[in-house]
Amino acid sequence: MIQIEADLGKLESNHPGLGIHADARLALQALLETVARREDATAPERVRELLTRVRERIAAQELTLEQQVLTAVRRALPTNSPSFWDMTILAYWAWSAFDAMGPNHLHSAQGAGGLGYGFPAALGAAAADPTRPVLAVSGDGGALYSIAELATARQYDLDVTWLIVDDGGYGILREYMTDAFGEPTATELTRPDYVALAESFGVPGLRTSPETLEQDLAKSLATPGPSVVVLPATLRMFAPTHLD
């Protein structure tokens, strides 16, 4: 294991390995400049074949609402705009079925259950590059982890549109529990009216539907400054896309 860590006290603190005491960004940049690029003429075709298999497996599951919503997001988002995805079912779809349209355009907190990541990360991107709109995507459960950042968005007029998919609670846990035990436990949340809450911060908010999502999201992204778009919808996960 190779570990790059700026905090010397954390190097190899859990497992022995090759510890590199350095700032991660500087270390990775040095690696990029040092390691020779590996050319593989077969890579583009293998990638196309894999993506085709993934699309076919998803299409065969008849999850039309989920595909409709993800397609609407892609059509509404400018091709050069980055998107930041919280831990939510729509983000899990994005990992397998969303075309980012370029490098460093899709960011997510996958792998560690990082609820609350999407909106603050999007604000950081908007502060770093105010020339293009930024999209954040959260569920209603994850949104409550960083809801106070609406004040930051308004105070600094950051050009971030926050799409909140509101399914009434922790949707992925509800689905897993129902599949495993026949019913969910403690997955329903008492939650605010996200449109009214956004407007209380002076941030424009609107409630949309799967049918009007593309139009509403595109309008919000085209309007400078922060905004919140709430989509009431219960989305479902897909079966595994990588079986071999």
User: Domains along the chain?
Assistant: 63-232 (3.40.50.970)
Element (H, E) at 95: helix 89-97
* Burial call 104-116: b when 16+ CB within 10 Å, e when fewer: ebbbbbeeeeebb
Strand 83-85 versus strand 18-21 pairing type: unpaired
**Edge-to-edge order in the sheet of strand 160-166:** 106-108, 83-85, 134-139, 160-166, 227-232, 205-207
Vertex 54: Cα angle to 51 and 76 (nearest 5): 75
Sign of CA dihedral 106, 109, 111, 113: negative
DSSP designation for 243: -
pLDDT per residue as tens, the chain (244 positions): 888 999 998 888 887 788 999 999 999 999 999 998 888 999 999 989 988 988 888 888 878 999 999 999 999 999 999 999 999 999 989 988 899 999 999 999 876 678 899 999 999 999 999 999 999 999 998 999 999 999 999 999 999 999 999 999 888 888 889 989 999 999 888 889 999 999 999 999 999 999 999 999 999 999 999 999 999 999 988 876 555 5
Measured over the CA atoms of residue 221, residue 106, residue 141 and residue 239, the dihedral's sign is positive
- Which residues face 137 on adjacent strands? 85, 163
pTM of this prediction?
0.85
Query: 226 and 203 in contact (C-beta within 8 Å)?
Result: yes
